[in-house]
Structure 1
Amino acid sequence: MSKKWFNSKKFTGIRWQQHPTRKHGIRFDRKFGYRFMFQGIQFEGFLGWETEGWSEKDTYLKRQFYLENAKNGIGPTSLKDEEQQSRAAVLAEKSKETSFEDYFNNRYLPEARTRKKESSIRCEKQHLRDWISPQLSGKPMHSITPDDIEQIKLAILDKGRAPRTAQHVLAVFRLVWNHARKRNVVETDSPTRAIEIGKINNQRTRFLKPKEAQKLLDTVKDLDEKAYSLTVAALYTGARLGELTGLTWSAIDLEEDTKSITLLHTKTGKPRVLPIASPLHHILKATPQGNADELVFTNSKGEKWREAPWGFRQAIKDLKLNEGRTDKREWICFHSLRHTSASMMLAAGVDIRTIQSHFGWSTLAMLQRYTHALDESKRAAVDSLEKALATKSGGKVIPFKKAANKSCS
């Protein structure tokens, strides 16, 4: 094809190149192109051959279409743009027929595996298999309604599962839906927004007593020394599992007069400095210290704990601490160590403001979980008052004298 350009005399901005051998009628075939300037930017491109049906006029009309799009800042300005938008439209149309299950497995899951723990992935897949898929049955995402979500919720509750389970399942659905919306597979808010789960009470009502806590520590120690170190740290600091498993040696001060732990990555985002109790101090002193950025508590492979240690979970089973308890709110888990610490401090009479600061509670509402400990603390306070008064009065209670009635006249 000749690279020489021929400009149209009839239509502004239209030109063509001539094929060296192929003819269209009595003249050589022509490949039409266009060009125009807008705001200092040159737009140009080929459209097609005359043998394919293109003409000077058709090319000019397309040029005007592209020019108008450039002025408006929207729409294609080249044939390549049109082809890309056409493919995108086809994909968008196909995506409307994508089922929730297909999207989960083919789009959401591969991306989620790059940033989530395998235990979380396993849980989400289980919710999809057990609760979501049986109700949706391959229904396209754009056709899913709040009524479909309501059926998922009812199926969970009809099986005798707790409302908390329904909440978790719907949270997975919403997570995947929002993932699809960000990628323009769906255009509306998640249909879970129209569903009410009802009030959920997951407040744990059981904590370890001192003898139970000590027996648990002894059992964990026999099973796994590293799990024992983490368990002691949780019980003597009241810190959360995630706060401890991410702890590095830079946050540890083992000096006798200042021994403390600085929790930087807390649930509230506010750092907390906690004193180190003697049993924990002894363990940390005996632990080979790594570099400032190395983890303090690791598993047997030297890696970060991703969940409660096996040694701790096995100790709970061996001691049968959860045996015969059907309500999971009464189960002892790793987080129960935090509740146990708070309960013991309150029972010992530590003032609530100090405890609030130690545990990082944003409000005192959390104290409602420890009413039994508060009752013990108040009983101890009253007993101390009684002893003090008895000492002052020689062991006798001094009655109030009744004042004589006097006239107001």
Structure 2
Amino acid sequence: MDMATKWLGTNFPGVRFREHPTRKHGVQKDKYFAIYYKVDGKRREESLGWASQGMSAAKASQVLAKLKEAARTGEGATSLAEKRKLAEAKREEERQQEEARARENITFADYCANDYLPLARVTKKPESIRKTEEHVKNWLGPVVGRLPLKNIRQMHMQKVLLAMANAGRSPRSIQYVFATFRAIWNHARNNGFVQVQSPTKGVALPKVNNERKRYLSRPEADALLAELATRSPQTHDLALLSLDTGMRFSEVTGLTWGCVDLDKGRIDILNAKGEKDRAIPMTARVKELFESMTPGASNELIFKSRVGGQIGKISKSFDLAVEKLGLNKDVDDPKQIFSFHCLRHTCASWLIEAGTDLYVVQKTLGHSTPVVTQRYSHVADASIANAFRAMEADTAKAQPGKKVISLGDR
């Protein structure tokens, strides 16, 4: 303390004060109280505060008594600085305990909104974020949104399954929603919010069979493109690209000018489904289509919605054209119903009919495994059978008079 300061004694041993030169507290000058004492033979001095702040000689004496008692017994703080440190440590401990309780009781909805989605918006595509938010809002939130993560059980996920099934949602849609839940759960598990496996484990989901058996003949494809050209030039161009490249709808609508290389006659598909890039050669009419358009900036979408963004769904003109051509007339089997995605299926089928190896088709279409490409094996089987029949016919011509056993007779 400042040795030039004039300290005055009180009726309480070890308590003293100094007066403010001008400020008053009531009718007397304001007083600043301090205490002094010894710990382990060393003198300690502590400043306590002004009378105008509520301090008094009696209160200062009580503080001094507690510090001396702590020094005597070895329990508690023996100085105000130490007391402040202990208080801060206690507050920090209480804060950590509160955070632990909050982490332990965090709800699915809060974790998704405050922890999962902020990072996902940085690392995932906007369409993936949109679907995640849709799944949480429509299906996951109503069942498990308000539940703490630790309380979510298999029975809750069975309720999600039942709700979607009762609403007539497809097996594929149900699987997508469950995949969204697993992604959020695994994220929480990796960050220490939960320790157990996802409660989706053990929930039997409906089987998915989205194999499309329908593909167009070349006359049908030409008729469809001609009809679309009269209804919507943009839809015509989208359909032509999918038909001649096997690109998915989202890949076509997400195409930017930087992905089109007219000199090399190549389209680069970046960040496609499965996060795998691939390159597709242009057919003559695809190249002609791009050459007829005015190129934009490298990151500019080639096909835009009315508001300038990426097109979210196929135009109604496509369905009207399909209806007019009768492509789905008297078709009840979902596998045989023609949709925009069947243009991709048609491209794959035509490639195989032309003798393209299944592995090449897999890489062209961007299938993650050969299993998906095997869906088109029926086309390959037919091509193989036709090839052997042609060989059989050539053999018969080369060896007149000799009987050739037809492969179909075996």
For normalisation by structure 2, the TM-score amounts to 0.69
List alignment gaps of at least 5 residues for structure 2. 1-30, 405-410
| Aligned twin of 2:56 | 23
RMSD after superposition = 4.5
Question: How many residue pairs get matched?
Answer: 364
Deviation at 1:64, TM superposition (A): 8.5
Q: Quote the residue 1:190 is aligned against.
A: 198
Q: 2:345 aligns with which of 304, 315, 339?
A: 339
Alignment TM-score, normalising by the size of structure 1: 0.69
Offset from partner CA, 1:73-131 (integer Å, 9 cap, x none)? xxxx76445435524534654665665467667877788788744852334422237xx
Q: Is the 8 A contact 1:17 1:30 kept in 2?
A: no
| Pair 1:291 & 2:297 matched | yes
Task: Rate the CA distance shift 1:162–1:62 in 2: closer, same or farther, 3 A.
Answer: farther
Cα pair 1:223 1:311 within 8 Å, conserved = yes
Aligned residue number for residue 212 of structure 1: 220
2:155 maps to amino acid: D
Partner in structure 1 of residue 77 of structure 2: 59
SS of residue matched to 1:239: coil
Say if 2:135 and 2:177, in contact at 8 Å, map to a contact too.
no
Q: Distance in 2 between matches of 1:198 and 1:331?
A: 21
Gapped regions of structure 1 (runs ≥ 5): 32-48, 67-76, 401-409
What is the CA distance between 1:303 and its match in structure 2?
2.7
CA distance in 2, matches of 1:369, 1:65: 75
Matching residue within 239, 248, 252 for 2:260: 252
Matches within 5 A, 1:216-227: 216-227=224-235
Distance 1:17 1:321, change over 3 A: farther
Distance 1:292 1:65, change over 3 A: same
Q: Measure, in 1, the Cα distance between the counterparts of 2:336 and 2:152.
A: 37
Distance change (3 Å), C-alpha of 1:147 and 1:358: closer
CA distance, structure 2, for counterparts of residue 63 and residue 155 of structure 1: 61
Change (3 A) 1:392 1:5: farther
Counting only pairs closer than 5 Å after superposition, residues 350-365 of structure 1 correspond to structure 2 as 350-361=356-367, 363-365=369-371
Q: Secondary structure in 1 aligned to 2:301?
A: coil
Match for residue 395 of structure 2 among 389, 393, 404: 389
The DSSP-based 3-state class of the residue aligned with 2:279 is: strand
Counterparts of 1:15 and 1:227 in 2: how far apart (Å)? 86
Task: Please tell me whether the aligned partners of residues 238 and 339 of structure 1 are also in contact (alpha carbons under 8 angstroms).
Answer: yes
1:22-60, CA deviations, whole angstroms, 9 ceiling, x for partnerless residues?
A: 2252746769xxxxxxxxxxxxxxxxx979xx9665225
Residue matched to 2:246: 238
Distance (Å, rounded) in 1 between the aligned partners of 2:240 and 2:168: 37
Shift of 1:281: 1.4
Aligned-partner SS, 1:204: coil
Query: In structure 1, what is the Cα distance between the partners aligned to 2:363 and 2:119?
Result: 39
Q: Is the 8 A contact 1:260 1:276 kept in 2?
A: yes
Q: Which structure 2 residues correspond to residues 145-224 of structure 1 after superposition, within 5 A?
A: 145-154=153-162, 156-157=164-165, 162-178=170-186, 181=189, 186-197=194-205, 199-224=207-232
**Which amino acid is 1:383 matched to?**
R
Q: Give the 3 Å change call, closer, same or farther, for CA 271–18 of structure 1 in structure 2.
A: closer
Percent identical residues: 27
The one-letter amino acid paired with 2:310 is K
Shift of 1:327: 5.3
Aligned positions of 1:261-276 closer than 5 A: 261-267=267-273, 269-276=275-282
Do structure 1's residue 374 and structure 2's residue 390 form an aligned pair?
Answer: no
Deviation (angstroms), 1:284: 0.5
Contact kept? 1:146, 1:195, Cα under 8 Å: yes
Larger Rg, first or second structure (1 or 2) = 2
How far did residue 145 of structure 1 move?
Answer: 1.7
